[in-house]
Structure 1
C-alpha cells in the first residue's frame, strides 16, 4: 500500500459563475460566461485556487452541442475549448504552488442521459474539445460519465494523447443497494473497464454525498484485485435526489441547505477514510467548501492510503 498526498479539486463552476454575477442562463449554462464574459471564468478559477484547490477543471463542460447548439459548436467549439484551457492555465500559473489543470471532457450528448448515447457522434464532439484543450491541460478528466460506453468513446477520441486520463462516473442516487451508474451498470464493472482502458484515477462525481463511500469501497476492491496503481477520488454535488429520468442542467435545481462547508467536510472525511486521495466538489459546492477542506482536511491529514 502506497501513501500519496491528498489533493483538493475545485468545486462547481456553473453555480460559482452564477453567484459572482456572470452571464448565466439555459441552455448555455456555464458556457455563456466563456462566450460573453470570460473574465468571470478566470475569477471563478482564481477563487477556487485561493480557497486551496490544487486541481482546477477547465470550463469546457458545457461547450457541447447540447448546450451551445450544433451550429455554434461546429464553428466555435474548438476555439471556446482553447479559451477555457487558457483561462484555467492562467489561473494555475498565477499561484506559487503547482496547480494541475484538468481538461473537462463531459458526456457529449447530455448529462444523465446514457439512453441518448451515440458512439460516433460522441467521438467527434470530444475530438473537437480535445483539439482546443490539448496544449493547456495536465490531465484529461472524463467526468459525469453515466455509462461504460461513454468512457469508451472518450478513450477512442483521445487516441494517443500523452496526458494521463482520469475517469469520473456519476451514480444513481439510491442508498442501500449495490452502487450503480446512471445506466444501471454496476460500479465494479465500470471501474474494471476504466482501469483496463488505462485510467490513472477513478472518481465519482455529480451525485449525492450519501452514495459515494459505497462506490469507493467497490472501486477499491476492483483495483486491488486487478493489481493496478490507480487513485480514487470524489466530488459530490449539492442537489437533492435526482430521478433516473432527469437531465442534468436542464433546469436550475435547488441546492440542499444541509450541505454547508461543515457538513461537506464531514462527508469528505468518510471518503478519505475509504481511500480517496482526490477530493473536491461538483454542482453547488463553492470556494467556501473547498476552503474548509483545505483548513481541516488537507492541512491536518496530508496523506491517505492508495491501494495498488
Structure 2
C-alpha cells in the first residue's frame, strides 16, 4: 500500500462539538468571529485523531456567508485570524493548508464571476499567506473556478492541491457539478502542476470511479501527482437541491459511521488514492478510526 496522508474532517460539526454555534449565513465563519477558542479546539481534535494536514477554517469567508460589506471591511482580518488559529493549533504536528473556497456559493458553477474572482482570491491568499504550508482549492465545481484559483497562485512555490466536488447522481460517469468530466479536471490539474488532485464534498458513492480515472490519467502522463478523497456525509443531498447547501444546515446520514467510512476509504485507496480525509459530517472519530485502520493494515 502506498503511504497514505491523513487529512482532517469537516469543521462545521466539530466546531459545534467544541462549543461554537452553527448557523446560516455565517456558517463556520461565525466561530472565527465569535469563538476562536472553539476553532483551535476543533483543529486540535483532528490533529489528535491523526490528521497530518489541517485546512484553515476560511471556507465561509466569502461574501455569500459574511456579506459584501463585511468581506470588504473585515474579511481579510478574519481570514488572517482563521489562518493564525490553524497555525497555532498545528504547531509542528501538522501542516496547514490554506483554503481557497468556492467564491460565489457551494455547488453553483453558473454563478462564477470571472471578473470579480481575481480580487476576491487575492484577498484570501494574502490574508493566509504567512501561515500556510500549501494551498487547497476546494469544493471546486468547474474547470473555470479551478483555473482562476491556480492563476491567482502563480509564482507561489508552495504545493497546490485542487479538490473538485462531483455530482452525486451522475448516471454513467463521474462528472463535476458543472457537467465537465473528471478527465478534463485531471488534465487541468496536470497543466497547472498541482501536487495533488482530490475529490471532496460529494457522497462516498460518487468518488471511486473519479479516483480511478484521475489515477490512470496521471499515470499515463508520467506524473507523480497524488490523488485524494474527502467525502461528505450529507443525507440525500442531491444535485437538484444544491442551492440548499448555502441556505440550510443539511442533515447528515446515520449509516456513515466511522467503521463504514473505512470501507469506502479502502475502495478509494485500491483505486489509487493516497490522501484521505473527510468533509461535512465526517468528524474526528472518523479520522481516528482511519488512523488506526491504516496502522493495522
Aligned residue number for residue 51 of structure 1: 49
Aligned residue number for residue 304 of structure 1: none
Aligned residue number for residue 300 of structure 1: 296
2:215/2:272 contact within 8 Å kept: yes
Matched residues in 1 for 2:4 and 2:154: separation?
29
SS at match of 1:120: coil
Q: 1:266 aligns with which of 256, 263, 269?
A: 263
SS at match of 1:135: helix
Aligned residue number for residue 13 of structure 1: 11
Matched residues in 2 for 1:64 and 1:241: separation?
22
Matched residues in 2 for 1:23 and 1:159: separation?
36
Matched residues in 1 for 2:282 and 2:246: separation?
15
2:26/2:66 contact within 8 Å kept: yes
1:145/1:169 contact within 8 Å kept: yes
Deviation beyond 3 Å, 4+ runs, structure 1: none
1:111-160 CA distance string (max 9 Å, x none): 10001011121221111010110111111000000000001110122231
1:144/1:169 contact within 8 Å kept: yes
Matched residues in 1 for 2:2 and 2:264: separation?
20
Structure 1 residue 20: Cα displacement: 2.6
Aligned length: 295
1:175/1:210 contact within 8 Å kept: no
Matched residues in 2 for 1:18 and 1:107: separation?
23
Structure 1 residue 226: Cα displacement: 1.8
For structure 2, the residue ranges without an aligned partner over 5 or more in a row are none
Equivalent residue runs for 1:114-125 within 5 Å: 114-125=109-120
1:247-269 CA distance string (max 9 Å, x none): 22321111000001000111111
2:215/2:273 contact within 8 Å kept: no
Matched residues in 1 for 2:207 and 2:143: separation?
18
Structure 1 residue 164: Cα displacement: 1.1
Matched residues in 2 for 1:116 and 1:194: separation?
22
RMSD: 1.3
Matched residues in 1 for 2:17 and 2:170: separation?
30
Q: TM-score, normalised by structure 2?
A: 0.96
2:23/2:249 contact within 8 Å kept: no
1:165/1:199 contact within 8 Å kept: yes
